[in-house]
Amino acid sequence: MSQQFDVIVIGGGPGGYEAAIRAAQLGFATACIDDWTRPDGKPAPGGTCTNVGCIPSKALLQSSENFEEAGHAFAEHGIGVTGLSMDVAKMLARKARVVAQNNDGILYLFKKNKIAFFHGFGSFAGKDSDRWKVSVAGKAPAEIAGTHVIIATGSKPRALPNVPIDNVRVLDNDGALSMNAVPKRLGVVGAGVIGLEMGSVWRRLGAEVTMLEALPAFLQAVDTTIAKEAQKLFAKQGLAIQTGVAIGKVDVGSKDVTVTYTTSDGKEVKATYDHLIVSIGRVPFSEGLKGDTVGLVLDERGFIEVDGECRTNLANVWAIGDVVRGPMLAHKAEEEGVAVAERIAGQKPHLDFNTIPWVIYTSPEIAWVGKTEQQLKADGVDYRAGQFPFIANGRARAMGDTRGLVKMLADRKTDAILGVHIIGPMASELISEAVVAMEFGASSEDIARITHAHPTLSEAMREAALAVDGRTLNL
């Protein structure tokens, strides 16, 4: 007889492994299946996020930022650096160690929570009375059965039409995080979150980076004040960003890649790069799951169709994370996973997409939550805006990083915070205060009245809140 579980999670990325942990905490006999494998054949749970996404990109962003700081920012502190050099192999080895620590951490958590981990590829194999049968293909094939199945199979990179990713010349995120030398000329198609992060890493290490973006405006989804500031700052750093570009022919040679594209003013340009990173978004991944054999419904874009609570069309089959609608973010996947486990236990968790924070880990970082000013205008919402630049923040001056600002948007009548947008040092950490505030329905006055330690960057948040009421103290 096959092994029986209350909950089977297919996919061990941030959505899947956290769903499994929460299900186990709630007392369910839980299994998690994941197929990601390290070069030595060992399991590598953690999905895209841990293996080729959030974690390795932040490791390389940190290494490259340290290199740039040592080369450019230390001097002003009186620190002289001679003979500065970059050992790319060592940087990549460190990244691999960081990834492996996270893989091992998840394996430890599976053990700690008594989750049965199956290293292999899971697929539906029909139904046995009220239990779903799931096959695991891999080194240790198995057939297991579960009352509930949570699908957390994630996403994969989108390729340019007719330009296959070879991860030699044409790179996806995996290739972009693994180049063993700094390219001289690097092209990046797509100036979104991933493109900007990858472009930043290699620019800091010395590559000439050109970013080709199809949309007419830079960072169109970001508040325009922040996007404009970002474009100015990134241009100053030497990131060449072209918007409104139409990619034509891409010729992949043995040593380089030539891209023919049309600029926003209609000029045809032929540019040659050592490598081309393609970061034009990601598509849901549910191949090989054999969902069609049990009648699982996908939408027209290939996402598994779910309701607001992550229920698919099949009884007791749920889907979460990148493989379903909504922002493709690790923390969104995690929250959905936890919420589904709690729903299975009969609880009533709630996940508000409007308070999910977004972060771009460039330098300076960009982070936001809630509505942008352009969205409020389009929705006809009456609001007040306040902003405060880091140049007027004592801690930022002491740190030597005064780039950027905090902008707060609040309802004119109720003063409820509707959105907070930051570009500046540690924006990724600062945004949490805004998330908490919005989750608790705080007003801008609430933030203005809360004591913020001095001197901290968080004082810029308080000042932006004061600015909503036209009464900043330090500007």
Ligand X SMILES: Cc1cc2nc3c(=O)[nH]c(=O)nc-3n(C[C@H](O)[C@H](O)[C@H](O)COP(=O)(O)OP(=O)(O)OC[C@H]3O[C@@H](n4cnc5c(N)ncnc54)[C@H](O)[C@@H]3O)c2cc1C
Comparing CB distances to ligand X, the nearer of 304 and 376 is: 304
Q: Which member of 77, 275, 452, 454 is catalytic?
A: 454
Return the residue of 126, 216, 238, 288 that touches ligand X, per CB under 6 A: 288
Give the alpha-carbon dihedral of 464, 233, 216, 273, to 10 degrees.
Answer: -150
Comparing CB distances to ligand X, the nearer of 48 and 393 is: 48
CA distance 33 to 53: 20
Give the helix/strand (H/E) hosting 64.
Answer: helix 54-68
Residue 35 binds to ligand X (criterion: CB under 6 A): yes
CA distance 362 to 428: 10
CB of 363 to ligand X, least distance (A): 14
Strand 383-389 versus strand 405-411 pairing type: antiparallel
Return the residue of 53, 192, 199, 370 that touches ligand X, per CB under 6 A: 53
- Among positions 158-217, residues that touch ligand X (CB under 6 A) are 173, 194
Residues near ligand X (CB under 6 A), total = 37
CB of 427 to ligand X, least distance (A): 13
Residue 11 binds to ligand X (criterion: CB under 6 A): yes
CB of 96 to ligand X, least distance (A): 15
Site string for ligand X, 95-124 (x = CB under 6 A): --------------------------xxx-
Residue 472 binds to ligand X (criterion: CB under 6 A): no
**Order of strands, sheet of 170-171, starting from the edge strand that comes earlier in the sequence:** 170-171, 275-278, 185-189, 208-212, 240-242
Residues linked to residue 212 through DSSP beta bridges, in sequence order: 189, 242
* Alpha helix ranges (H) inside 400-453: 427-439, 444-449
Comparing CB distances to ligand X, the nearer of 159 and 269 is: 159
Residue 74 binds to ligand X (criterion: CB under 6 A): no
Return the residue of 5, 16, 145, 233 that touches ligand X, per CB under 6 A: 16
Q: Are 136 and 2 in contact (CB under 8 A)?
A: no
Q: Encoding tokens for residue 458?
A: 């968080």
Return the residue of 165, 245, 289, 406 that touches ligand X, per CB under 6 A: 289
Return the residue of 43, 146, 154, 291 that touches ligand X, per CB under 6 A: 154
Measure CA 462 to chain center.
27
Q: Are 428 and 359 in contact (CB under 8 A)?
A: yes
Contacts of 165 (CB under 8 A, 6+ apart): 157, 159, 171, 172, 175, 278
What angle in degrees, to the nearest 10, is found between the helix axes of 14-25 and 88-112? Answer: 20
CA distance 25 to 330: 21
Q: Are 304 and 336 in contact (CB under 8 A)?
A: no
Comparing CB distances to ligand X, the nearer of 51 and 444 is: 51
Return the residue of 7, 22, 24, 36 that touches ligand X, per CB under 6 A: 36
- What is the chain's Cα-based Rg? 24
CB of 34 to ligand X, least distance (A): 5
Residue 152 binds to ligand X (criterion: CB under 6 A): yes
Site string for ligand X, 300-329 (x = CB under 6 A): ---------------------xx-----xx
148 is catalytic: no
Contact stretch for ligand X (CB under 6 A) within 31-39, 208-216, 265-273, 365-373: 31-39
Comparing CB distances to ligand X, the nearer of 205 and 467 is: 205
Return the residue of 179, 306, 330, 406 that touches ligand X, per CB under 6 A: 330
CA distance 185 to 207: 6
Contacts of 454 (CB under 8 A, 6+ apart): 394
Query: In 3D, which of 238, 235, 241, 232 has the Cα closest to residue 211?
Result: 241
Tell me phi and psi for residue 195, to 5 degrees.
-60, -45
Query: In 3D, which of 473, 244, 198 has the Cα closest to residue 361?
Result: 198
Residue 227 binds to ligand X (criterion: CB under 6 A): no
Residue 335 binds to ligand X (criterion: CB under 6 A): no
Query: In 3D, which of 433, 358, 423 has the Cα closest to residue 389?
Result: 423
Return the residue of 9, 20, 22, 34 that touches ligand X, per CB under 6 A: 34
Comparing CB distances to ligand X, the nearer of 51 and 387 is: 51
Residue 419 binds to ligand X (criterion: CB under 6 A): no
Residue 243 binds to ligand X (criterion: CB under 6 A): no
Catalytic residues: 454
Could you list the residues that contact ligand X (CB under 6 A)? 10-16, 33-36, 47-49, 53-54, 57, 121-123, 152-155, 173, 194, 285, 288-289, 321-322, 328-331, 333, 361
